[in-house]
């Protein structure tokens, strides 16, 4: 998928996906991956900022 900005020096981005052929166009796939990455990055920032990685989880017996 050619792009028109300076995010990739070659001008192409390659995505490996298991979407069925023809269900999503190249731009849709790129947008989905971009949004997913942003959400994962935000979650990582939230966890580290709140130090959630230092909380010990306890599982109750049923």
* Counted domains in the chain: 1
Mean local confidence (pLDDT), 34-60: 82
- What span, in angstroms and rounded, lies between the C-alpha atoms of 41 and 35? 10
61 CB burial (10 A radius; 0-12, 13-18, 19+): exposed
pLDDT at position 4 over 80: no
What is the DSSP track for 2-54?
B-SSTTSSSSB------PPTTSS-HHHHHHHHHHHHHHHHHHHHHHHHTTGGG
Q: Bigger pLDDT: 54 or 14?
A: 14
Report pLDDT for 32: 92
- What span, in angstroms and rounded, lies between the C-alpha atoms of 15 and 28? 11
The pLDDT tens digits for 10-41 are 678 888 889 898 899 888 998 999 999 999 99
Domain hosting residue 10, numbered range: 1-62
Specify the pTM: 0.55
């Amino acid at each position: 998928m050619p792009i028109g900005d300076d995010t990739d020096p070659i001008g192409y981005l390659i995505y490996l996906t298991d979407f069925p052929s023809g269900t999503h166009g190249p731009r849709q796939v790129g947008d989905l991956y971009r949004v997913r990455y942003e959400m994962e990055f935000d979650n990582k920032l939230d966890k580290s900022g709140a130090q959630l990685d230092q909380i010990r989880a306890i599982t109750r017996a049923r």
